[in-house]
Chain A
Amino acid sequence: MTTVDSAPRTTRVVTYLILGIVFLTLAGIGLATFRTAKSSHEARRKADRLVATLGLPAAANERIAQVLGDDGGLVCAAPNDELARSQLLATLSNGAGGPGARPVIADEQALNGMRAIIQVYCPDEADEFEQFVADLKLADTAK
């Protein structure tokens, strides 16, 4: 009866240490490189437009400027790229956090935020993105 189902303690500890160092390094690089969007005049101007477009409370302006900056951040990085779209399509899914994730018929407002951000921050991409959204089947499933 010699079933062995685990590496020795030393091997495990070394693995934990290596991974700990890797993740701490990633966090360190993240802290050094992460650029909080500057709340510049342009950022605030665009945030104003987004707030008006979506009918949000004016208080949201500063927060939006800090997150989206003047370029829309990740949303406007490449909204019409197939890879980015693939990741977007993956989010139009059920509430699973594991392999049970599967597509659903998403709510109409699920993409409102993205559409508005693209219109305000990267309008050159808007037409193509609107066409993409128009091809999706959406429904009014949220109140």
Chain B
Amino acid sequence: MSATGAAAAGSPARQGKALPGTAYISWVALALMTTSSVASLRPSPTMAVYGLAAIFLYLVPAIVFLLPTALVSAELASGWTGGVYNWVAEGISKPMGFLAVWCQFAQTIFYYPSLLAYVASTLAYVFDPSLAANGVWTALVIVVCYWTGVWISAQGAKSVAGLSSAGLIIGTLIPGTLLVVLGAIFLGQGNASAAPMDASHLLPAWAGISSLVLIVNNFLSYSGMEMNAVHVSSLRNPAKEFPRTMLLATGLVLVILILPALAISWFIPSDELSLTAGVMQAFDTVFAQFGMQWMTPVVGVMLVAASLGGMLTWLAGPSKGLLLISRQEGYLPPFLQRMNKHGVQQNILVAQGVLTTVIALAYAFIPDVSSAYWIFSVITTQVYLIAYLLMFVAAMRLRRRRPDHPRGYRAPLLGTLCVVGFAASSAALAIGFVPSSQFGGGNTALYVLIIAVGALGLGLLVPYLFYRLRKPGWRLPDPERGHRP
């Protein structure tokens, strides 16, 4: 399923010509990497609360956001290598390309501590529930897992492809299938579904702006579909294989997000769900129903494997794009552009790791940080949406200005897809300013100010400073083109 052997290097637009030196990964492996980046069982209990309406809540965003993102990035990757930085650089300008990949990179900084805190909580459920609120345990799990991830990512794309694919299969596809099969058996035994499964429950309740926030924010369920395109040059024939990659990943993502959530809603009434214990309690409950609770710790460790596999893809992807454009244009100091012997952006990963460690320690030990941590996920997703806006604009411009550039795949109705994707991204950006549950009855203006300042600072000010402070001497040959410093 994973990598398919070492062979050749070459220009991303090589259209299948093999050049000696680089390791290839298969399109199936890249599809699994992409799926691993986007989908997991983690949100299943949250979405199970909506019962049958979970289908609507995933399908509508799939039409207006997943489909445009997948098809547009498939066309772009079939014509240009390097991922979002290069697409935007070619379609708009190089500074905008840097901005796009910076936004993709920056949004991960606050993601790792929250993802790994979930890992710590999952392991606590298995070993000792009292560990879930233990700062030392949480910090230890975050730091050990993160730096192990850096060590693996430093081995290059094949290791990441192999492990993230394995993580997806072991920790998402197998447990997810088990959940759905047990759910089908449960219903087949004549038990009534806990959540009503009739046509009148296909749509969620309409609660005005709250429902709009729920639906529009769900667009972001599919964010990351384009991220692994940075590895497109590791495919033997990117032009033909990347569209297949996106097709397979799209199908898998939809299945993984929708079916397990539904299965949980068959078993457990929404009133009985405890979100703190989340997916672990859901599995425990299902296994208790079938007298196989001994499986709970095994599935817990499998879920951890999936989370860490997904983390690997995020470590390896955006930082590589950042490296590629920085070497071309000198946007980052030479220290950060340094690669290891496998051609991996080692120093960017280490610098990010130091920052992540500091954030993780603050998260684990400073109550004010942990209780307000959710706000960073709003800010970072706002920042990520900037990258999507730029990608859709770049795709339209490239189709219009360079219609004859060779592309292995041409997305049908690209203009419409870009308009819909841009509108969806804009809507998600706007809805990000509506205060969420966590903000309670706080001052809306203050909320908007915090989000705006945070997003502008992280998404625009930091990359602007890098841009302003760049030096011509910081330009280094592009590793994708085969030159080593």
Contact = CB atoms under 8 A, between A and B. Distances in A.
Contacts of A30: 126-127, 297-298, 300-301
Interface string A3-27: 1111101011001100100010011
A140 B377 contact: no
Given A66-B293, A143-B205, A83 B118 contact: no
Interface string B155-192: 11111001100100000000000000000000000000
A6 B159 contact: yes
B435 A100 contact: no
B205 A93 contact: no
Contacts of A123: none
A91 B276 contact: yes
B130 to A, nearest CB: 5
Contacts, number: 361
B249 interface: no
A140 B271 contact: no
A77 interface: yes
Interface string B414-440: 000000000000000000101111111
A95 B341 contact: no
Contact of A114 (B157, B276, B288): B276
Given A15-B159, A136-B437, A141-B210, A5 B271 contact: no
B301 A98 contact: no
B133 A6 contact: no
Chain B binding surface SS class: helix
A86 B372 CA distance: 7
A16 B223 CA distance: 28
Interface range, B side: 35 or more
A74 B277 contact: yes
Interface in B236-273: 256-257, 261, 269-273
A67 B284 contact: yes
Contacts of B370: 82-83, 85-86
B21 A87 contact: no
Contact of A5 (B157, B221, B436): B157
A67 B275 CA distance: 14
Interface range, A side: 35 or more
Residue of B41, B43, B223 with most partner-chain A CB within 10 A:
B43
Contact of A93 (B43, B156, B289, B363): B43
Given A7-B159, A75-B274, A77-B133, A95 B436 contact: no
Nearest to B134: A83
A84 interface: yes
Contacts of B159: 6-7, 12, 15
B336 to A, nearest CB: 18
Contact of B20 (A1, A88, A102, A109): A1
Contact of A87 (B41, B117, B285, B344): B117
A81 interface: yes
B27 interface: no
Residue of B39, B224, B438, B479 with most partner-chain A CB within 10 A:
B438
B257 A95 contact: yes
B22 A136 contact: no
Contacts of B482: 1-3
A109 to B, nearest CB: 5
B484 interface: yes
A113 B271 contact: yes
A6 B298 CA distance: 31
B352 interface: no
Interface string A91-122: 11111111111111111011111101100000
Given A96-B43, A97-B41, A97-B42, A4 B276 contact: no
A139 interface: yes
Residue of A64, A83, A116 with most partner-chain B CB within 10 A:
A83
B235 interface: no
Contacts of A16: 162-163, 166
Task: Across the A-B interface, give the 5 residue pairs with the lowest CB-CB distance, nearest first.
Answer: A30-B297, A100-B220, A139-B210, A103-B436, A78-B133
Interface of B: 3, 6, 9-10, 19-23, 37-43, 45-47, 49-51, 53-54, 57-58, 107-108, 111, 114, 117-118, 121, 123-130, 132-135, 138, 152, 155-159, 162-163, 166, 196, 200-201, 204-205, 207-211, 213-214, 217-218, 220-224, 234, 256-257, 261, 269-278, 280-281, 284-285, 288-289, 293-294, 296-298, 300-302, 304-305, 310, 314, 341-344, 363-364, 367, 370-371, 373-374, 377-378, 380-381, 384, 432, 434-441, 479-482, 484
Given A2-B21, A102-B432, 6 more contacts: A3-B9, A3-B21, A66-B288, A86-B363, A99-B224, A136-B440
